[in-house]
Every structure is written in C-alpha cells, then in structure tokens.
C-alpha cells in the first residue's frame, strides 16, 4: 500500500472518530449561518488533513535519553498551498461574516428590527389595590420556596433535585414559576433512568407558596440525563440544522410538561441579529415534538423571546437609530434599558417589564417598556422618574436596620400614580415585606407585611403629600346604613364586611385599622371606597360614623 493510500485511510479514521465524537459532545448546528458550524468545519478539516502534514521530512523524536515517549515533528513548510487554504477558508468566512454583520456598518438595519408603540400608562394599566398578576418573587427566592415542597418527600429528594431554573409562566390566569426536577448525579440517573423523573415544582410568586406536581407519565429527556437521555442531544439529532436559542420549561392547560425551544435565524448579514423564527414544542416524556413558525405559536405558550433578547433588540433601536457614530460619540437621542427585567401577566400572556433611561441621564428613567414574551410586541410608556435600582435602594433604606434586600421591582398604578412594587427579602432569601415606591418622587416609600397593609400606608402617604391622580383616585365617597356586619379571617388577617340595604358589600382590614370593629348593624357611616377585584365588593380606604 502506497503512502498516499495510508494517509487517506488515516484521514478517514480521524475524521470519523474525531469528528463523530466531537459532534456528539459539542452538538453544533449544521447550518452555514452559524459560527459554530464553521468552527466545527475547521476542526474537521484539521483532522482530515492532519495525515498529509506528515511528510517525508517529518521526524519522530524521542523526548528523553532512555527512548521513552516521542512526539511528531511536523514539517508544515512542505504543506501544499491548497491544504492551508482549505483550513483557513472557514476562518475567513467567520471573520467576513461577522464583519458584514457588525453594527458599525449596519446600524440602521439593527435599529429597524422592531416597532415600538407608544402607549398611555393610565389606559393600559388600571388602578389596582391587590396585585395578583405580577411575579414579585425572584428566582433565588423561588428556589428556596420550591425546595420546601421537596423537603418532606424523602423518596423524591433522595434521588432528584430542583434544576434551579424557574420559568415564569401564566397558568390559569395567574403568574407561576415552574421548574423540572433533575437527576441528582450520574449514578442517580443510572439507577432511575428506566422510571424517569416523576414530577416538577410549581411556585406561586404572589402568595409565596409551592407544591410538588407528580406526573402520570414521567420525564425521560432532561439536561441531567446522559447519552441518549440528554435533552439537547435529543433535540439536535431531531433538528440538526436549527440554531437553538433559549429553552423554557412550561406546562400546558392540563399541567403537562413541555420544553419550548426558540429557533434563531440571523436577520442581518450572515451571522448578525439572531432572532426567533420558529418554535419547537418538545414533550420530554416521550420525546415527540412539533415545530411552528413563530407567528403561529400556540397561545398557551408563554416564553418564546427571552428577556435578554427582548431588551437587546430594544437597545439596538434605542442606541443605533441615529447611526453608529452617534451611539459612540454624540449620544443624541440614545436610550437603553436598565440591566434587568421583571414580569407582568396581562390577559393570556407574560410581558417583560424594564425601565428605559437616557444614556446621559443619571439614576432616572425617561419611561418604561413592556415586551410580550410570546409575540415580541413592544409598548413604551413615557413615565419619567427614578430608575429601578434607585427605588430598590430607597425601599431598603426604609428598613435598613433589618438588612433586607429588595427584589427587582415591577410597575403598577396606585391611585393614578406610577408606582414600583417589590418585595424585601432577608439574608436567607425569604420574603419578609412588600414595598411601594413612587416613581416620580422616590422618597415616598411604604412597606408592609401584606399587600393590603402596604397599599393603605402608601395611599396615606400620597394624601399627606398632596399627590392625587385625579378625581376618585383615592376612591368615591359613599354614605349608607349598615344592614349586616361580618368578620372573617382571610390569609391570617381579620377582614370586616359591611353589607348595605341594596346588597353592596364594603370590606376593611382590621389588622391595619381596628376602628371599623365598632361598627354595628343599623349604623349610618360614610366611607371612601375603591373597587376590588370582585364585582359589588369595595375596599374601605377611610370611614366615619354619622350622627
């Protein structure tokens, strides 16, 4: 067998073994619009052409006097030009592709990727007294609360653990955080792979509760699985050409688990502005999947565009609308989001919330954006005030002796005022207090152990500071005769209900104001009341007995 034939055989062996193992481990997309593809191709070319670097002038040199061990001295000077070009060509494509996609040359294209609707804060965000559509709990707190649900399940916690990654979803009209269980280690996978993962954890980020959900069909494909049970490997072998973005663990209306996989496509040049084009719905129980165009994503899915992608796309528009040089030197009209985001549930969808600040501004926002996590829609609200971290600092300062740490806030409408709402956590990550901070005047801060308590304190501060969002911002004044009085305990708090002769009900929290406990049937009273989430039931903000 001649030397050329031997080199071809060696080249084929290296390509099959080295290339196959590399692909199995790294799982690059076989897509020329991905830099990973060209990097992998470069590696394959190196493997395939390596035998041809072993020329007649190459030497095997012993590395010590006893002749133990050796290394190959390759004579790269004898390599043919076409071999060098073959190896370098993919690297040139990566360089040229990135250069042609760079913001310095394509600033206007990046800035025009999205459209942002300017909306009216008071119209889109009605006044609220009870926040049930915002995930006030962050992931670290969710992990702590979620682990409680596993603590009493010895047969589960000994073999499995929480993934530590919680997806924010809308389930039955309320925000929830869900996380799949994972195998605790390789040996736990080995011992349990036949039976799979039995369930997942659901956390209520509004009421700080959690529960373990046991599945009828166990999960078999997961990040903690090995070999054919590995989630990414299963997806890659099913969709070899797709560029995967983020994976989100979600549940459908029946509580069945799925992984929602965003598939990306460059929008600018060869590699630039990766954006979601398709969505894979993957069943981790049986390994089946479906792929949809992003515009046809089923409505029960919540997370298609990750928050980091949503904010990046807005920043491209905010920073590059005036051209690349302006974004670097002049900064005229340049704006960008703050470096974190929260979640709000509106209708059937989850929206990201984050502030927008001028590049030249100091600790202040010029407005806020909401971005739909499923459709990619954007809305901008021109509400000027303190940026989120200033509000967090103000809330922490209100109880600085306790050393509590504020979560990233969200935005609500209280009495017509744009208001930050957040929770304050102790050193163990447990939620201890709620906090409300006025956006425009962030020195107005209220804290309380419950939402009703903090709402009452905050509205009192607004009245004391002469701040009003307009007529009836703090409620309507009503006089009536009490026909019935009831006191019940809800979520550990005593609530008084006053029934009028026409069937209207007014309620007040006795833990905040003990005065209404003196009210008796037949009394005539005057109240300032606001609407609650239940029709014909109103919250008592202030009250007064009439003669």
Range from 31-40, 373-382, 421-430 carrying the lowest mean pLDDT: 421-430
Which of 458, 453, 454 lies closest to 438, judged by CA? 458
357-386 mean pLDDT: 89
pLDDT in tens, 161-191: 888 899 999 998 889 999 999 998 999 999 9
pLDDT reported for residue 472? 47
- Rounded Cα–Cα distance for residues 336 and 278 (Å): 27
pLDDT reported for residue 141? 84
Task: For CA atoms 527, 531, 532, 538, give the dihedral sign.
Answer: positive
What confidence category does residue 535 fall into, taking pLDDT thresholds of 50, 70 and 90?
low
Helix axes 3-26, 35-49, angle to 10 degrees: 150
Q: Are 532 and 126 in contact (CB under 8 A)?
A: no
- Angle, alpha carbons 272-247-139 (nearest 5°): 110
Which of 358, 350, 347 lies closest to 322, judged by CA? 358
Task: For CA atoms 180, 181, 183, 184, give the dihedral sign.
Answer: positive
pLDDT in tens, 273-297: 999 999 999 999 999 999 999 999 9
- Rounded Cα–Cα distance for residues 160 and 157 (Å): 5
Which of 433, 403, 405, 435 lies closest to 422, judged by CA? 435
Q: Are 375 and 345 in contact (CB under 8 A)?
A: no
Expressed in angstroms, the distance from the first to the final Cα of the chain is 116
- Rounded Cα–Cα distance for residues 16 and 40 (Å): 14
For the chain, what is the mean pLDDT? 86
Distances (CA, A) of 202 to 104, 173, 181: 45, 15, 11
Q: What percent of the chain has pLDDT over 70?
A: 90
31-38 mean pLDDT: 96
- Rounded Cα–Cα distance for residues 509 and 449 (Å): 13
pLDDT above 50 (res 85): yes
Both tokens of 146, joined, read 């979620």
Distances (CA, A) of 372 to 277, 305, 375, 380, 491: 15, 8, 6, 12, 32
Q: Residue 228 gets which letter from DSSP?
A: G
Both tokens of 334, joined, read 């340049």
Distances (CA, A) of 316 to 103, 246, 327, 357: 9, 20, 10, 14
Burial of residue 351, with CB atoms counted within 10 A of its CB: 0-12 exposed, 13-18 middle, 19 or more buried: buried
Q: Where on the phi/psi map is residue 491: left (φ > 0), alpha (ψ -120 to 50), or beta?
A: left
pLDDT reported for residue 227? 94
**What is the value of pTM for the model shown?**
0.82
Distances (CA, A) of 27 to 37, 163, 165, 233, 237: 10, 22, 22, 7, 9
Q: What is the dihedral of CA 448, 454, 459, 464, to 10 degrees?
A: 0
Range from 116-125, 198-207, 507-516 carrying the lowest mean pLDDT: 507-516
Which domains does the chain show, CATH number per domain? 3-100 (no CATH), 107-130+305-383 (no CATH), 139-304 (no CATH), 394-464 (no CATH), 476-545 (2.40.50.140)
Strand positions, DSSP E, 473-532: 476-490, 493-500, 505-509, 524-531
């Amino acid at each position: 067998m001649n030397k050329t034939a031997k080199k071809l055989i060696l080249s084929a062996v290296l390509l099959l073994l080295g290339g196959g193992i590399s692909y199995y481990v790294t799982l690059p997309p076989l897509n020329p619009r991905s830099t990973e593809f060209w990097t992998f191709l470069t590696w394959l070319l190196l493997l395939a052409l390596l035998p041809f670097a072993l020329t007649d002038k190459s030497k095997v040199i012993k590395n010590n006097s006893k002749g133990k061990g050796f290394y190959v001295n390759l004579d790269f000077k004898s390599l043919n030009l076409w071999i060098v070009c073959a190896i370098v060509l993919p690297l040139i494509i990566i360089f040229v592709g990135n250069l042609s996609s760079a913001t310095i040359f394509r600033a206007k294209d990046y800035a025009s990727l999205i459209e942002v609707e300017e909306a009216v804060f008071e119209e889109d965000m009605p006044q609220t007294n009870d926040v049930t559509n915002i995930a006030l709990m962050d992931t670290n707190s969710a992990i702590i609360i979620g682990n409680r649900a596993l603590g009493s399940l010895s047969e589960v916690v000994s073999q499995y653990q929480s993934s530590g990654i919680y997806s924010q979803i809308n389930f039955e009209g309320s925000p929830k955080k869900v996380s799949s269980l994972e195998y605790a280690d390789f040996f736990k996978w080995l011992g349990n792979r036949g039976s799979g993962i039995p369930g997942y954890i659901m956390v209520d980020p509004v009421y700080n509760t959690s529960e373990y959900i046991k599945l009828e069909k166990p999960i078999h494909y997961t990040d903690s699985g090995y070999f054919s049970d590995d989630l990414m490997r299963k997806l890659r072998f099913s969709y070899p050409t797709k560029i995967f973005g983020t994976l989100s663990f979600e549940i459908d209306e029946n509580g069945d688990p799925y992984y929602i996989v965003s598939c990306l496509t460059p929008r600018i040049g060869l590699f630039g502005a990766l954006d979601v084009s398709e969505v894979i719905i993957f069943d981790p129980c049986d390994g089946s999947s479906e792929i949809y165009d992003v515009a046809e994503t089923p409505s029960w899915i919540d997370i298609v565009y990750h928050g980091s992608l949503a904010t990046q796309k807005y920043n491209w528009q905010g920073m590059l609308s005036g051209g690349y040089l302006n974004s670097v030197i002049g900064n005229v009209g340049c704006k960008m989001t703050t470096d974190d985001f929260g979640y709000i549930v509106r209708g059937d969808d989850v929206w990201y919330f984050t502030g927008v600040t001028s590049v030249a501004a100091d600790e202040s926002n010029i407005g806020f954006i909401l971005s739909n996590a499923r459709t990619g829609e954007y809305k901008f609200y021109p509400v000027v005030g303190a940026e989120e971290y200033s509000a967090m600092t103000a809330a922490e300062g209100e109880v600085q002796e306790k050393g509590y740490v504020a979560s990233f806030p969200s935005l609500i409408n209280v009495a017509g005022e744009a208001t930050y709402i957040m929770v304050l956590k102790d050193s163990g990550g447990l939620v201890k207090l709620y906090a409300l901070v006025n956006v425009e005047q962030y020195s107005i801060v209220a804290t309380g152990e419950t939402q009703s308590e903090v709402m009452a304190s905050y509205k009192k501060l607004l009245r004391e500071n002469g701040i009003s969002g307009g007529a009836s911002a703090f409620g309507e004044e009503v006089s009536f005769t009490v026909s019935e009085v009831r006191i019940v305990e809800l979520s550990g708090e005593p609530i008084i209900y006053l029934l009028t002769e026409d069937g209207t009900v007014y309620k007040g929290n006795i833990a905040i104001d003990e005065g209404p406990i003196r009210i008796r049937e037949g009394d005539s009273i005057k109240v300032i009341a606001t609407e609650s989430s239940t029709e014909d039931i109103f919250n008592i903000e202030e009250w007064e007995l009439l003669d």
